[in-house]
Amino acid sequence: MVYPIMFETQPEGNRPSTGEVILGFLLGILASLLCLFFCVFLGSTLGGRPWTFPVINGLALVGVGIMALRKVRESSYALGVVIAVSLMFLLNAACGRAFYR
């Protein structure tokens, strides 16, 4: 029987601490807000079309998410950051979609 290949975020014996995941989630929200301020600053400097803000913010969130995803096996904080950044990315995509209407 062939089993599908799955990405394991944590080894089987090491369960993530709930407190560390919550603190990582709060850290991820802070990182997302910093990405938002970065995109507003950079977007207004570059010319400020309405669609540039979600695009720049999405790129910044992807960068933060990739950095956190590399450390997710080592730290429960990174797991919380990945959860927060992915939720913010979905919210960013919804806002970006609203600009195209």
Better pLDDT: 59 or 1: 59
| Distance between CA atoms of residues 85 and 50, nearest Å | 22
Residue spans of the domains in the chain: they are 18-99
Better pLDDT: 47 or 19: 19
| Distance between CA atoms of residues 42 and 62, nearest Å | 16
CB 75 within 8 A of CB 20: yes
Q: How confident is the model at residue 5 (pLDDT cuts 50, 70, 90)?
A: low
Query: Which of 3-7, 49-53, 78-82 is predicted with the least confidence, judged by mean pLDDT?
Result: 3-7
Residues 6+ positions from 63 with CB-CB distance below 8 Å: none
Q: How confident is the model at residue 23 (pLDDT cuts 50, 70, 90)?
A: very high
- Does this model's pTM top 0.85? My answer is no
